Structure 1
Amino acid sequence: MAMANNGKVANKVCLIVIDGWGISDDPYGNAILNAQTPVMDKLCSGNWAQIEAHGLHVGLPEGLMGNSEVGHLNIGAGRVIYQDIVRINLAVKNNQLVNNENLVDACNRAKNGNGRLHLAGLVSDGGVHSHIDHMFALIKAIKELGVPELYLHFYGDGRDTSPNSGVGFLEQTLEYGKLATVVGRYYAMDRDKRWERINVAYEAMIGGVGETSDEAGVSISTIRVSQPRSTESKENFVQN
């Protein structure tokens, strides 16, 4: 906003963020292109420019799609902000996780206690809130730090990834450690302040409440059963 010599506003600038408004010439499944958008059409009749919203342009790894959080952060900063995923990737590449103060402290506490360490989080390659490769790197670092027993608490995605991709991620996870619980992000990562959802994951991890099994294969079968052919079903709704 510019100020004139008399102290009055000379020019006004309005920043409007429209989530989900993308630009594509492909009409197939393109709701924006097929809709009547007179206001946006008028705005685009003047001076305008298209900017990139993915990959290195917004501080993400090359080829990774952008998302709401990343877009807002870059717009607000007015410059490229390298995202957590990029910084973590560098830490993994340079084998710096074994020197992470918090991780080392957690591992030492486990070794000085009952020898058990629990790792909980969203397991997928969505790259928005987590990435499965980071979990694998953490597991490797934890083993290098000498923790005797590691237990994994699997949060299914299905929101930033395909609704039915959980089984594949679960099978990969089983190759790296012992599975303790399986629950969808709808419960474990609820963002609507609904305790009854969070409590499902909490009771499973703290009290062992939920469907139990001594065999990992049953957990995989449970997810398959929880993912019927209906497009309404997503793994983020899977209860433990």
Structure 2
Amino acid sequence: MNNPTCVVLIIADGWGVSAAKEGNAIALAETPVIDQLSRRYPATTLKASGLAVGLPEGQMGNSEVGHLNMGAGRVVYQDLTRISKSIAEGTFFRNRVLAESMEKIKSSGGTLHLMGLFSDGGVHSHLEHVKALLEMAVKHGLSSICIHAFLDGRDTPPSSGKEYLENFQQYLDELGTGRIATIMGRFYAMDRDQRWDRVQLAYDTLVHGAGRRAETVSTAIDAAYAAGETDEFVKPTVVEAGPGQETGIRDGDGIIFFNFRADRAREITRAFTEKDFASFDRGKAPVLSSYVCFTEYDASFDLPVAFPPEELKNVLAEV
């Protein structure tokens, strides 16, 4: 009887191959097992960034992207690339889910709230997507638009948020609509380990206007840096609204969560959308006209998804 053939895929996260040795822990280390395997068996290298793994040219890879491409055995266009491609081709602006959400907000007379990670790190979100949403909102006749900026500092330099915010504020001034209503570190709004005390601080600022207050976006981030907070840990802060402008998320308003990576979008989404949510006291929860997930955050969520997952066939688990 022949022995069954077994194929094992072992992933050593963070293991890379580079000829450069300076600052390269792997190249400088003794690696006898890997060296022996490479000598005794066929070996090659795989590109793990950019177009090779379905990301834009020059975009760094990450663990989720690498695992997906290896498991699929082919290049899989990532959500970042899919969404950016749809913007370039113009189909983004005809997206049915996004369009229906904006029309509901328009009918209710509410405010469109765009919230998500505010950087171009490309791991959870991208600012070019926010600009496209704003452009689409203007086309749909929406004039009351609030942006809730979750600052990065992990996939981008730890104090780069000020530049992102000030550049985007300049873009909004030129566009003539939209305002940055709150800022906060991803530590609060994008928890994924059921640290609900953090999520509550984010929620209370978004909905009830709780937390620190600042007159402008620049003074808000300057105060955070002066307090020793880097982007990831900036405490939830309300940027003061002008005359006639609402601060928090109200009945009839709609939310588009522009993060495309799911893991850190689930908890705050539950806080906004679950009828019997009990992880913390929400106070009076707003009755939203719509809540759109940019991608599918959880198959159990009964929520509209702008870019649903693409089905992959003949992947490693099926072969």
- Check whether TM > 0.5: yes
Give the structure 2 partner of residue 55 of structure 1.
Answer: 50
Secondary structure of the residue aligned to 2:23 is: coil
Aligned residues of 1:125 and 1:132 also touching (Cα < 8 A): yes
Aligned residues of 1:110 and 1:117 also touching (Cα < 8 A): yes
Instruction: Output the amino acid matched with 1:35.
Output: A
- Structure 2 residue 68 is matched with structure 1 residue 64: no
Give the structure 1 partner of residue 221 of structure 2.
Answer: 220
Aligned residues of 2:87 and 2:93 also touching (Cα < 8 A): no
Which aligned runs of 4 or more in structure 1 are off by greater than 4 angstroms?
A: none
Q: Distance in 2 between matches of 1:77 and 1:39?
A: 27
2:128 corresponds, among 129, 133, 140, to: 133
Show CA shifts across 1:17-68 (max 9, x none): 0111111121111111122222222222222111111111111111111111
Give the structure 2 partner of residue 169 of structure 1.
Answer: 164
- Structure 2 residue 179 is matched with structure 1 residue 154: no
Show CA shifts across 1:55-110 (max 9, x none): 11111111111111100111111111011111111211122232111211221121
Q: Distance in 2 between matches of 1:7 and 1:143?
A: 67
* 1:184-195 to 2 correspondences below 5 Å: 184-195=185-196
2:30 corresponds, among 33, 36, 61, to: 36
Secondary structure of the residue aligned to 1:44 is: helix
Give the structure 2 partner of residue 88 of structure 1.
Answer: 83
Aligned residues of 1:186 and 1:236 also touching (Cα < 8 A): yes
Q: Distance in 1 between matches of 2:181 and 2:106?
A: 19
Q: Distance in 1 between matches of 2:20 and 2:93?
A: 47
Higher RCO (CA 8 Å, separation ≥ 6 residues): 2
Q: Distance in 1 between matches of 2:165 and 2:109?
A: 26
Unaligned runs of 5+ in 1: 1-5
Q: 1:224: Cα distance to partner?
A: 2.8
* 1:84-123 to 2 correspondences below 5 Å: 84-123=79-118
Instruction: Output the amino acid matched with 2:20.
Output: D
Secondary structure of the residue aligned to 1:224 is: helix
Give the structure 2 partner of residue 12 of structure 1.
Answer: 6
Unaligned runs of 5+ in 2: 173-177, 237-319
- Structure 2 residue 233 is matched with structure 1 residue 237: yes
Q: Distance in 2 between matches of 1:90 and 1:44?
A: 38
Q: Distance in 1 between matches of 2:193 and 2:27?
A: 32
Q: 1:236: Cα distance to partner?
A: 1.0
Percent of matched pairs sharing the same residue? 44
Aligned residues of 1:111 and 1:148 also touching (Cα < 8 A): no
**Count of residues in Structure 1 that have an aligned counterpart in Structure 2:** 229
Q: 1:7: Cα distance to partner?
A: 6.0
Give the structure 1 partner of residue 182 of structure 2.
Answer: 181
Show CA shifts across 1:135-154 (max 9, x none): 11111111111112000000
Q: 1:217: Cα distance to partner?
A: 2.7
Secondary structure of the residue aligned to 1:212 is: strand
Q: RMSD between aligned alpha carbons?
A: 1.6
Instruction: Output the amino acid matched with 2:219.
Output: V
Aligned residues of 1:190 and 1:198 also touching (Cα < 8 A): yes
Aligned residues of 1:115 and 1:147 also touching (Cα < 8 A): no
Query: How does the TM-score come out when normalised to structure 1?
Result: 0.90
Q: Distance in 1 between matches of 2:217 and 2:105?
A: 24
Q: Distance in 1 between matches of 2:233 and 2:37?
A: 40
